[in-house]
Each structure stands twice: as C-alpha cells, then as structure tokens.
Chains A and B, each alone.
Chain A
Amino acid sequence: MKSIEWVAIYVLWLREMKRFVRAKSRVVGMLGMPLFFLVFMGLGFSNIPGLPGDIDYIHFLVPGIIGMGLLFTSVFAGLSVLWDKEFGFLKEIMVAPVSRLSIVLGRTAGNATTALIQGILILAISAIMGFRPNGIVGLGLAVVFMLLIATTFIGLGLIFASNMEDMHGFSLIMNFVIFPIFFLSGALFPIENLPEWIIKICYVNPLTYGVDGLRGALVGVSSFPIAVDILLSTVFSIVMVLLGAYFFKKSESV
C-alpha cells in the first residue's frame, strides 16, 4: 500500500470544505477575536516604542493579527480530531484502507485551506482600516507564509490531540501553550522590546518567523531576512506535521 493516497487526501479536504461552508457561525466566530484585537489595539495605540523602519502601528499590527488568527484556528483544527473521536467519526476514518499519513495530510490540507481563507479575510478587513500591503508579490509571499503558519500549528494541535483522551486539557493548552506562543512571537510589539532572556524563547517560537515573514512580505519590514523566515517556517511546518502524523499513528482510536 502506498503511503500517500491522493483520493483519500482529497476526500478529507473536501469534507472540511463542505463543513466549513455549512458552518456560518464558525466563520464569524473564528474571525471575532482577531478582529477585536485588530480594531482595539489598532485604535488604542497609534504608536509604540521600537517600531522598525518608519511604519505606523497598524501596519506593524496587521501581520501579527493574521498570525494570531492562523495560530488559534490551526491549533483548534488540529485538536478537532478529538471532536471526531467524541462523535465517533474518527473510527470510520481509521478502519478505511488508507495510510495514517494520508489521513493526516488530508485533514491538514482541509484545515490549512480554511485557515488561509480566514487570513485573507482578516487582510481584506484590515484594508478598510487603512492597511496598505506592499504590492502583489508581497501578497503572494504572504499566502505562502500563511500556509506555513497554518500547517505548523495544525501539526501542533494534532500532537496534543493524539496524546489526549478528550477535550478536558483544552484550557490548559489554551493558557499555557497558545497564549505564550502568541505573545512571544512579535505579533503585537517588537520582540526587541523584551528582556534578553525572553528574546531567546522567541527565537525557538515558530510563530516568530511566520509573523516576521508576513511582515516582511506585506509591509517590507522584518527583523530577519525573509529567506531565513521562509526556511525556518518550512522546517517547523514539516517537522510539526510529521510529528503529528507520528503521534496520530501511535494513538489508539477507541
């Protein structure tokens, strides 16, 4: 048996798409938090110390908020395996004659697509608030970064889901994993403002490079060279998805 079955990946992707289109409240719900952050932070701070180049805060903030939206949606999407477990559908997938890697890739493809749609929606809404991206090439590059961020954190969510029995640990993950990743990524303020020892933590945070890359692509200002951002984000993404697949395969689904 091949380890990658395209039909199975397509089926699982299509399933996510159908579910996404039918769940209007989910679309609105997942846009809510990033939009509030965008509007209230953007309005509240017109300027903060340490901004790179000569950009204003809103231009600094938008890539960070996109990263935030992708982070939350993706971890949650990775964890949604637990919902499938709860509602029994996971067993139906697990007895199908397809490799576990294909199952993970199919889910990841579907979830990454919905996350990407969300990222683009946030970008569109921020244009209303006066955000001006840095040309069409930058937009294309931004899409690449969005996909890398999404797959990285879907993988992370899957790692957690495969090691959890049910959703009980969710708030633990929310408070002790997702929020630190968010705040220590340079999404809201330049990480250079932080004390030296915390900056070191930021350097091992995948989202740091994702947000920095987005900022470089959309605004033209970044802490690291874009090539470094792309490289590290790609590595993080591949490692996380493969780790997710590994733990998923190991876990017993009943």
Chain B
Amino acid sequence: MYAIRVENLTREFEGLVAVDHISFNVESGEIFGLLGPNGAGKTTTINILCTLLKPTSGYAEVAGFDVVEEKDRVRENIGVVFQELALDEKLTGRENLEFHAMMYGLRGEERRKKVEEVLGLVELYDKADMLVEKYSGGMKRRLEIARGFIHNPQVLFLDEPTLGLDAQTRRHIWDYIKELNRKYGMTIIITTHYMEEADYLCDRVAIIDNGKIIAMDTPQRLKDILGGDVITVEVEGDVERLLQCLKRQEWIKDTKRRDGFLDLTVEKGERRIPELINLSQKIGVNISYISLHKPSLEDVFIHFTGRSIREEEGEKNIRRGRKGFRR
C-alpha cells in the first residue's frame, strides 16, 4: 500500500509555477526524500500534501485520503514539522505537547504516558517544564519532532528538519528520525537541500529542480548513474604513456585528461589506488598527486542540471536577510 500517491500535481502562484506536474509514490514505512535547492518547490509540495495549500491541478492522496476532498481525514493521519518553527514560545515544552495531543484526541492517562514517552525519546525530559523561548535551536527542533509524532501519525512530514543546526545536533536529529522509522514503522517524508542528509536518511530520493522531479531512485542507484568513483592523478613525466597503458586496463571505465591531471572513472576506487601506483611504477612514470572522489548526490544533481545545489545558497541567504530586515 502506498502512504502517498501524487499524480501530475501542479501549483501556480500568480503565474509562477512552483510545482510543475510532479508524480511520485511513497511506500508505507519508507523514508522518502525530496532533495533540491531552495525554491525548487519542495515546501510547496509539502504544504499541498498536508492540506495547507490547494493544488492548481493534479491529484494527491495521503494515507489513502484525497488532500483536497478529505482534508480532515488527511489531517488526522499526518504529523508535520514545518521548516520555520511552529511552537508557542510562551508555553513550556510539556504544554506544547499536551495541547497538541489534546487537539488530536489523546485523553487522560494515554496522553500523559505518550507525552512522557516522546519527551524521553528526544531527551528533553529535564527541560520539559521550561518555557520554549528559553530553548536552544536544537532543543526546539527536537520538541517539534516529538510533537509531530506524539499522536502516532501514519505519515510524518519533515520540512528541512536540520536547517540552521550545527553538525552535532544535526547528527542527533538524524538518529531520532531513523529511530522513529525503525521503531514505529512510520512513513517519513523529508525535504532537504543537504545532500548528505538525503543520502544518510532516505530509502529513496526524488531530486527536484524548478518544480520538476528530474530523478528518483535510491541514493546508491542515483550515484551509480555517474558510473563510479573518480581517481584523479598528476604525474611527473610522460602522461601520454601512462594514459595509453591505463586505457588497456579493463577496470578503468573512462579516462579523461584535463590540464595536467588524469581523471579515471573506476568502481571501488580505494581498492584500485595501490594497483594504479604499481602500474605506473612498472612503466616508469612517477605519480606526484593522487586523490579519490566518491560521487555524492551533489554530483548527481550537477549531472542532471549542470549546476550545483550549493551555488544557490548565496541567493537564498540574501533573500532571507531581506526578510529578516523587513520584520
């Protein structure tokens, strides 16, 4: 059974197409990632799926319910952690959880137990009775994740869950997400523009750019599209001679020469480096530099779009700064 079905989903904002005829299915129990630069349409997609925005056209179904026609049924079955914090900072952590649980129909003893349980899971037990405005960014995020799954939703949406957090906190959050998926079999949809996040967490990833899905598969298979690892070598002496010799090797899938360097596409690059050195010594060519690059989802993104996700970061920061100033 599919937890989410999306068919030709489209959303326009005053002529601007934010989501452009996307289709995908998410299986029950999967961690599914929407990876792409800011402004690619990830958040719009999430907002449509959790009933906050109406699609311009197309169809979407969450937990078996139509997101337009059966909003209330969808809402009962999802948990959402939004990109921007959505906590009441004038309430304590526990009150935020309690109120949320009440809204979702948890009662009495069951509610009390559940609140304790999730507080324990995200390790906020000691801070539960502090006002949220006193929390650090990481603590707020953890509280939101706890709140997102306290009512046992079938599908949990996480929109950029680690945005703006330091590396250590990010690791921590990843662990909670994995734990949730493993322990409760919860279907999780996560949007991110961090390649390593998508790679580490997701069973499958859809790469999205300009409102369109440009590739979708497991992280490993997406990276396999690139054909393997790249070993880059620089040599002192006869480059051409080494190149001719390497071209005869079966395990080297591709060779490319670029200003003094040789790029070799191979599988399991780390195991091939010694062999490469032996070969070059045998024919009397000295290697002066060697490096191994394992393909990342970033490379996959570049492969499909011709630009890097990171390049877009700068623009986004400018936009944010402006927004901050307006406040």
What is the interface of chain A, defined by CB distance below 8 A to chain B?
A: 1, 7-8, 10-11, 14-15, 18-19, 22-23, 86-99, 252-254
Contacts and interface: CB of A to CB of B under 8 A. Distances in A.
B100 to A, nearest CB: 7
Given A88-B86, A97-B76, A7 B102 contact: yes
11 contacts: A7-B102, A7-B105, A10-B102, A15-B88, A19-B91, A23-B90, A92-B80, A95-B52, A96-B75, A97-B75, A254-B52
Interface string B86-103: 111111000100011011
Nearest to B102: A11
A95 B50 contact: yes
A91 B90 CA distance: 17
A88 B103 contact: no
A91 B86 contact: yes
Given A18-B95, A253-B52, A1 B72 contact: yes
Given A19-B90, A90-B86, 7 more contacts: A1-B72, A18-B91, A19-B91, A23-B90, A252-B52, A252-B54, A254-B47
Contact of A252 (B53, B147, B327): B53
Contacts of A253: 52
Contacts of A14: 99
Nearest to A86: B327
Contacts of B75: 95-97
B14 interface: no
Contacts of A19: 88, 90-91
Interface in B14-52: 47, 50-52
Interface in B115-164: 131, 147
Contacts of A8: 102-103
A22 to B, nearest CB: 6
Range class of the B interface residue count: 20 to 34
Nearest to B147: A92
A49 to B, nearest CB: 47
A1 B88 CA distance: 26
B104 interface: yes
A15 B102 contact: no
A10 B99 CA distance: 10
B84 interface: yes
B85 interface: yes
B82 interface: yes
A83 to B, nearest CB: 11
B52 A91 contact: yes
Contacts, number: 73
A94 to B, nearest CB: 6
Given A96-B75, A96-B103, A254-B47, A89 B52 contact: no
Contacts of B206: none
Contacts of A96: 75, 100, 103-104
A254 B53 contact: yes
B309 interface: no
Contacts of B52: 91, 94-95, 252-254
B78 interface: yes
Contacts of A97: 72, 75-76, 103-105
Contacts of B100: 92, 96
Contacts of B131: 22
- Output the residue of A1, A10, A86 with the most chain B CB within 10 A: A1
Contacts of B103: 7-8, 11, 93, 96-98
B12 to A, nearest CB: 13
Contacts of B86: 87-92
Contacts of B53: 252, 254
A251 B84 CA distance: 19
Nearest to B79: A95
- Output the residue of B72, B85, B86 with the most chain A CB within 10 A: B86
B84 to A, nearest CB: 4
Given A1-B72, A7-B103, A15-B99, A89 B87 contact: yes
In the A-B complex, the 10 residue pairs with the closest CB atoms = A97-B75, A88-B86, A92-B86, A97-B76, A88-B84, A96-B103, A1-B72, A19-B90, A11-B102, A254-B52
B85 A88 contact: yes
A95 B148 CA distance: 11
A100 B103 CA distance: 13
B48 to A, nearest CB: 10
A64 to B, nearest CB: 32
A197 to B, nearest CB: 42
A95 B131 CA distance: 23
Contacts of B95: 18
Contacts of B82: 88, 91-92
Nearest to A94: B52
A96 B153 CA distance: 12
Contacts of B54: 252
Contact of A15 (B78, B84, B91): B91
A22 B90 contact: yes
Contacts of A89: 86-88
A98 B75 CA distance: 9
Contacts of B76: 97
Contacts of A1: 72
Nearest to B47: A254
A250 to B, nearest CB: 11
Contacts of A252: 52-54
